[in-house]
């Protein structure tokens, strides 16, 4: 049951994040009483979902859980979360990671950017004020930065961090997008969401954040995810030109 005092929902996909969830959920519950949390867990064998259920005994209406069978991917996890958020009546719908690479204290800034009417989709950006990333190896930093330059060049997106996974979206943006047509499932999902919102005429903005590499768990980055992003931007561009986005 939804907390009637909450207008914001933070969607957090998880796979083997039990230790992070035990730290993150209490922190967020204490941080802002107007923000609820939805964990979308892909059958984590480490007991992440069980840990969330134990936390629900304490946080009741503010902590929600979707359990999925198997590792189904980031994009489909967020789409499931979006559908849940729209169905339950949330206005400000957020994405963030469970591993504290996204600072929970930055979340209210993103929500306020949308709540104030300054934008319809506020992105927690690693690149809008120089490069604000801590503890990444140079190779991964170069890959990420180059990928963003490439995605901006192909798609024309007016943001510097096209692959950002920390954001707040007004429900009207999600209501305007046919979620069944979302094609991507890795990190290119973020590019696709930004592109679809941009092409639908919504206002995108960036709020500078400091991104910190995870200290618990394992990164989900893979060659398959990188290759998906390479061809996805071209598909989005072509489908936009043909007006079949």
User: What is the C-alpha to C-alpha distance for residues 91 and 81, in angstroms, rounded to an integer?
Assistant: 13
Q: Is residue 3 part of a domain?
A: no
Q: Is residue 174 part of a domain?
A: yes
Q: Is residue 36 part of a domain?
A: yes
User: Both tokens of residue 210?
Assistant: 């400091």
In angstroms, the Cα distances linking 81 to 38, 78, 126, 154, 191 are 7, 5, 24, 28, 18
Stretch 40-63: mean pLDDT: 97
The confidence score (pLDDT) of residue 120 equals: 98
pLDDT band at 221 (very low <50, low <70, confident <90, very high): low
Find, among 21, 78, 9, the residue nearest to 49 by Cα: 21
* Mean pLDDT rounded to a whole number for the chain: 92
Q: Are 25 and 17 in contact (CB under 8 A)?
A: no
Stretch 112-126: mean pLDDT: 98
Q: What whole-number percentage of the chain has pLDDT above 90?
A: 80
User: Pseudo-torsion of CA 150, 153, 157, 161, nearest 10°?
Assistant: 30
Q: Is residue 126 part of a domain?
A: yes
Q: Is residue 2 part of a domain?
A: no
Higher pLDDT, 14 or 217: 14
pLDDT tens for each residue of 139-198: 989 989 998 999 999 999 999 999 999 999 999 999 999 999 998 887 799 999 999 999
CATH of residue 135's domain is: 3.90.550.10
Q: Are 218 and 46 in contact (CB under 8 A)?
A: no
pLDDT tens for each residue of 88-106: 999 999 999 999 999 999 9
Q: What whole-number percentage of the chain has pLDDT above 70?
A: 92
Stretch 109-115: mean pLDDT: 98
| Domain count within the chain | 1
Q: Between vectors from CA 92 to CA 37 and to CA 2, what angle results, nearest 5°?
A: 45
Q: Is residue 1 part of a domain?
A: no
Q: Is residue 45 part of a domain?
A: yes
In angstroms, the Cα distances linking 174 to 26, 48, 84, 120, 171 are 28, 28, 12, 10, 5
pTM value? 0.93
Q: Are 214 and 172 in contact (CB under 8 A)?
A: no
The confidence score (pLDDT) of residue 185 equals: 84
Q: Between vectors from CA 43 to CA 8 and to CA 57, what angle results, nearest 5°?
A: 55
The confidence score (pLDDT) of residue 41 equals: 98
- Give the structural domain span for 187: 8-241
């Amino acid at each position: 049951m939804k907390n009637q005092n909450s207008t914001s929902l933070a969607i957090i996909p998880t796979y083997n994040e039990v230790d992070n969830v035990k730290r993150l959920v209490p922190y967020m519950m204490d941080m802002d009483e107007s923000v609820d949390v939805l964990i979308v867990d892909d059958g984590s064998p480490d007991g992440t979902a069980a840990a969330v259920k134990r936390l629900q005994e304490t946080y009741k209406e503010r902590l929600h859980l979707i359990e999925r069978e198997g590792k189904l991917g980031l994009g489909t996890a967020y789409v499931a979360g979006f559908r849940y958020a729209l169905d339950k009546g949330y206005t400000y719908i957020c994405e963030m990671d469970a591993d504290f690479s996204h600072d929970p204290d930055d979340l209210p800034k993103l929500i306020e950017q949308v709540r104030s009417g300054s934008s319809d989709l506020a992105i927690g950006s690693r690149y809008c004020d120089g490069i604000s990333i801590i503890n990444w190896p140079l190779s991964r930093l170069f890959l990420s930065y180059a990928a963003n330059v490439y995605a901006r060049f192909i798609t024309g997106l007016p943001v510097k961090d096209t692959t950002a996974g920390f954001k707040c979206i007004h429900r009207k943006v999600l209501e305007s997008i046919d979620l069944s047509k979302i094609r991507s499932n890795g990190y290119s999902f973020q590019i696709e969401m930004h592109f679809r919102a941009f092409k639908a005429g919504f206002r995108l903005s960036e709020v500078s954040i400091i991104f910190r590499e995870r200290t618990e768990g394992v990164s989900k980055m893979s060659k398959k995810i990188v290759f998906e992003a390479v061809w996805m931007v071209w598909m989005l561009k072509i489908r936009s030109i043909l007006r079949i986005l």
